[in-house]
């Protein structure tokens, strides 16, 4: 009885064969052969999942979904294996307990969730920062966005990977309808449903990257939903703006990093940038400037 899934097959077979597993704590699964042989509950207490715009915890009887918009769904698998009847409202204490278990697991494993906000971080620009300015000679829409690819980082994202950058948008610039992030199949990886920044703001076509113009802010977005996935080119994505719109903003500390680790890959370091804009971009300038020259509010 109890839970057993495909994660547990390998350690169970090793236990069945009487073989030792090196570093068993690094495995997600648990050996269940003794439980099967002795007809006792397996050592698996719960499974945890990340799925697109939600995360989930499953116990032997219950399954709880937590959505990016804060809503929850609870299903009694003992009586509703098809998950047709959401009973969350009928079991508020159970919902609270399962949510806490899920949150504890996320924290203990340093999961960089894409559909829940990461802890905010203060912007820390210094030295040279990137000044970016351009105009649109074509309208940008969610179906026909414009973009400027300016980096090709290497590596693969894991459940701990997140994307971070410091940004200051000039008061003369368009303030919304663009964001910074990886490219995926000629569009933004962050344009999938339910991707949330550190403020809890969805990365929608109308996304506003800063709260106030002429003010440095740090944006952090988890990438756990996309793992394992090759880290794609980093680009400026313009998803909703009129023809003739002008943009001017500053970037610094653009990096791919890992929660719970000092490991990071800086996307831009002081020096030149090779940018690849789409045809709707005109007058593009990306250049390093001194942080001290950036306007203060």
**Are 286 and 273 in contact, with CB atoms under 8 Å apart?**
yes
Q: What is the CATH number of the domain that holds 83?
A: 3.30.1120.10
Q: Is residue 212 part of a domain?
A: yes
**How far from each other are the two terminal CA atoms of the chain, in whole angstroms?**
63
User: In DSSP terms, which residues pair with 49 in a beta bridge?
Assistant: 56
Clarify whether residues 41 and 164 are in a common domain: no
The secondary structure element, H or E, covering residue 252 is strand 246-258
**Contacting residues for 25 by C-beta, under 8 A, at least 6 apart:** none
Q: What is the mean pLDDT of each run of 10 residues along the chain (297 residues)?
A: 79 87 76 86 84 83 87 94 95 94 85 86 91 95 91 79 94 95 79 83 93 95 80 89 96 89 72 79 92 74
Clarify whether residues 59 and 187 are in a common domain: no
Task: State how far the Cα of 104 lies from the Cα of 269, in Å rounded to an integer.
Answer: 36
**Per-residue pLDDT at 191:** 76
**Contacting residues for 42 by C-beta, under 8 A, at least 6 apart:** 1, 2, 3, 4, 8, 30, 32, 35, 36
The number of folded domains in the chain is: 2
**Per-residue pLDDT at 207:** 95
Clarify whether residues 185 and 143 are in a common domain: yes
Clarify whether residues 194 and 145 are in a common domain: yes
Clarify whether residues 274 and 159 are in a common domain: yes
Q: Is residue 122 part of a domain?
A: no
Clarify whether residues 250 and 198 are in a common domain: yes
Clarify whether residues 140 and 103 are in a common domain: no
Q: Is residue 263 part of a domain?
A: yes
Domain boundary among 108, 141, 163: 108
Q: Is residue 120 part of a domain?
A: no
**Per-residue pLDDT at 64:** 94
User: In DSSP terms, which residues pair with 51 in a beta bridge?
Assistant: 54
The secondary structure element, H or E, covering residue 61 is none
Clarify whether residues 52 and 167 are in a common domain: no
Q: Is residue 123 part of a domain?
A: no
**Per-residue pLDDT at 68:** 75
Q: Is residue 24 part of a domain?
A: yes
Phi/psi of residue 13, nearest 5 degrees: -65, -40
Clarify whether residues 90 and 47 are in a common domain: yes
**Per-residue pLDDT at 239:** 94
Task: State how far the Cα of 280 lies from the Cα of 259, in Å rounded to an integer.
Answer: 36
Clarify whether residues 257 and 200 are in a common domain: yes
Clarify whether residues 54 and 146 are in a common domain: no
Q: Is residue 80 part of a domain?
A: yes
Range of the domain at 65: 6-108
Q: What is the CATH number of the domain that holds 153?
A: 2.60.120
- DSSP-assigned letters across all residues of 6-36: GGGHHHHHHHHTTPPPSSGGG-SS---HHHH
Q: Is residue 115 part of a domain?
A: no
Clarify whether residues 141 and 248 are in a common domain: yes
């Amino acid at each position: 009885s109890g839970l057993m899934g495909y994660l547990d097959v390998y350690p169970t077979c090793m236990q069945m064969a009487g073989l030792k597993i090196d570093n068993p704590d690094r495995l997600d699964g648990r050996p269940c052969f003794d439980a099967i042989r002795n007809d006792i509950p397996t050592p698996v207490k719960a499974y945890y999942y990340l799925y697109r715009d939600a995360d989930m915890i499953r116990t032997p009887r219950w399954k709880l979904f937590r959505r990016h918009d804060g809503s929850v769904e609870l299903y009694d698998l003992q009586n509703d294996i098809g998950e047709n009847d959401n009973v969350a409202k009928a079991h508020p204490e159970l919902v609270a307990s399962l949510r806490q278990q899920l949150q504890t697991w996320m924290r203990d494993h340093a999961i960089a969730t894409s559909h829940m906000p990461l802890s905010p971080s203060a912007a820390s620009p210094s030295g040279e920062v990137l000044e970016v300015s351009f105009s649109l000679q074509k309208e940008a829409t969610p179906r026909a966005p414009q973009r400027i690819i300016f980096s090709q980082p290497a590596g693969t994202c894991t459940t701990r990977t997140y994307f971070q950058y410091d940004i200051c948008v000039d008061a003369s610039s368009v303030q919304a309808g663009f964001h910074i992030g990886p490219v995926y199949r000629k569009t933004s990886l962050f344009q999938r449903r339910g991707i949330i920044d550190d403020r809890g703001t969805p990365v929608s076509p109308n996304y506003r990257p800063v709260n106030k113009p002429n003010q440095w802010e740090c944006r952090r977005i988890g990438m756990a939903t996309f793992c394992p996935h090759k880290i794609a080119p980093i680009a400026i994505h313009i998803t909703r703006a009129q023809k003739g719109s002008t943009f001017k903003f500053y970037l610094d500390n653009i990096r791919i990093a890992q929660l719970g680790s000092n490991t990071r890959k800086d996307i831009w370091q002081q020096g030149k940038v090779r940018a690849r804009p789409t045809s709707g971009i005109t007058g593009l300038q990306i250049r390093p400037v001194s942080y001290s020259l950036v306007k203060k509010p």
